[in-house]
Chain A
């Protein structure tokens, strides 16, 4: 039996985005807040929900070194979403700006008894908000899945709350169903999608004068990150050395091929004459 993971509105590869927004958060550090609503029908406590969310964040989305995104899970708060659907939660102002609110719901979950969870993301101007609801109805299927599937479910819904849509390729985390497969890692669609929404893309380093290269990454900024091991200064210096040697070599490479050109011959003949005259 396939358990479903829904995005509410929200073989090769595929990257598709949340149809509500088509974008990600402006901020690259996103907090997942945990609602206090009872999760017992889902088979865990609210503290257990927080643990699952932390595992989902650490095992999946924070494990993409090519994306400029850091998720963190806050302590269980006092927000109660009981009896509210996604829109009611958003309209009530319960989701802090540029963050995600995750919680369980046992009486207003909008899907059927096969659905594990659902999520939405909405944006207005520079501000986005995500809401993630886990099915905690009396007939919820969540208690029937194993812990790995629960973590994958959380990660899938967080993916929607970050701006990703579904993929048609079954082995990816963002496929609509979690049943009938082992989801240990992200798929290529998932990685491409999160790279697209959260790229290291700030133009700097003075390289913007080289249109061939386009915008350069903010080496100073990403120098503080895990994927930029030796620090910004060393990498900047090495990049400069690289450019120096490369352009210099290219210059001599072309000189080598055009050394028999007219200009070169005239210069050579002139030099030979000059040396002859010296003698």
Chain B
């Protein structure tokens, strides 16, 4: 398999390309309406998790474009002694609806890493007692893929605002979950 992918990549450098580049900043909201945030049972609707991206835009044919992008979510609210990060590989396509709006669709692969400092921490274990619990001591990475739907509104040819909905568990209606991205993009 390696040899095929290496050949694939090498050939790709040789082919001509006419594409635009874009960078973006925004916020990433995970598990929309499916993660509890208060004792009353309220769920997460919005979150401020900074998201940074770099992408490209390639014309395919007519109003259709391919828009791969790499993104990074920076978690400023992380568990005590624990760090998290998410790297996104978007392979989205877009359809030009008008000069100001494009419709986006495709897949995103997430690379989500959680790492800890190790050791123990004392946490409540009963009304009057505490117990020591282990803090994660290594880095673990989980990969998963979502189906994307979204739209991008252009204020002018160089600046746009974008909304991307990422659907997890798309074949399982009961346990379907959603993440979303709100970003501002600059086309270089």
Q: Check if B80 is an interface residue, CB within 8 A of chain A.
A: yes
User: How far, in whole Å, are A251 and B56 apart by their CA atoms in the complex?
Assistant: 12
Q: Known: A22-B134, A186-B36, A249-B58. Is A207-B5 also a contact (CB below 8 A)?
A: yes
Q: Which of A1-40 contact B (CB under 8 A)?
A: 2, 4, 6-7, 9-10, 12-19, 22
Contacting residues of chain A (171-216) with chain B, CB-CB under 8 angstroms: 171-173, 175-177, 180-189, 191-192, 195-197, 199-201, 205-207, 209, 213-216
How many residues in B have their beta carbons less than 8 Å from beta carbons of A? 76
Contact mask B49-84 → A, CB, 8 Å, 1/0?
A: 000000010100000001010100000011110101
Residues of A within 8 A of B8 (CB): 240, 243-244
**A126 part of interface (Cβ distance < 8 Å):** no
Q: Which residues of A contact B45 (CB under 8 A)?
A: none
A159 at the interface (CB under 8 A from B): no
Contact B35 A188 (CB under 8 A): yes
A245 touches B56 (CB 8 A): yes
Q: Give Cα A23–Cα B62 distance, bound, in whole angstroms.
A: 52
Given the known inter-chain contacts A242-B89, A243-B9, please indicate yes or no for A17 contacting B77, CB distance below 8 A: no
B79 and A14 within 8 A (CB):
yes
A250 to B6, CA, bound (A): 16
Evaluate contact between B125 and A251: CB separation under 8 angstroms: no
Interface residues of A in 59-83 (CB under 8 A from B): 62-63, 65-68
Do B168 and A65 have beta carbons less than 8 Å apart? yes
Residue among A13, A165, A248 with max Cβ neighbours from chain B (10 Å):
A248
Instruction: Please list the residues of chain B having a beta carbon within 8 angstroms of any beta carbon in chain A.
Output: 1-2, 4-6, 8-9, 12-13, 15, 17, 19, 21, 31, 34-41, 43, 56, 58, 66, 68, 70, 77-80, 82, 84, 89-91, 106-107, 109-112, 114, 116, 120-121, 123-127, 131-137, 140-147, 167-172, 174-175, 177
Query: 3 tightest A-B contacts by CB?
Result: A217-B143, A165-B133, A199-B142
6 A-B residue pairs with CB within 8 Å: A17-B133, A66-B142, A173-B36, A180-B39, A222-B145, A243-B8
What is A's interface to B at a CB cutoff of 8 Å? 2, 4, 6-7, 9-10, 12-19, 22, 58, 62-63, 65-68, 111, 114-115, 165-168, 170-173, 175-177, 180-189, 191-192, 195-197, 199-201, 205-207, 209, 213-217, 219, 222, 226-230, 235, 238-253
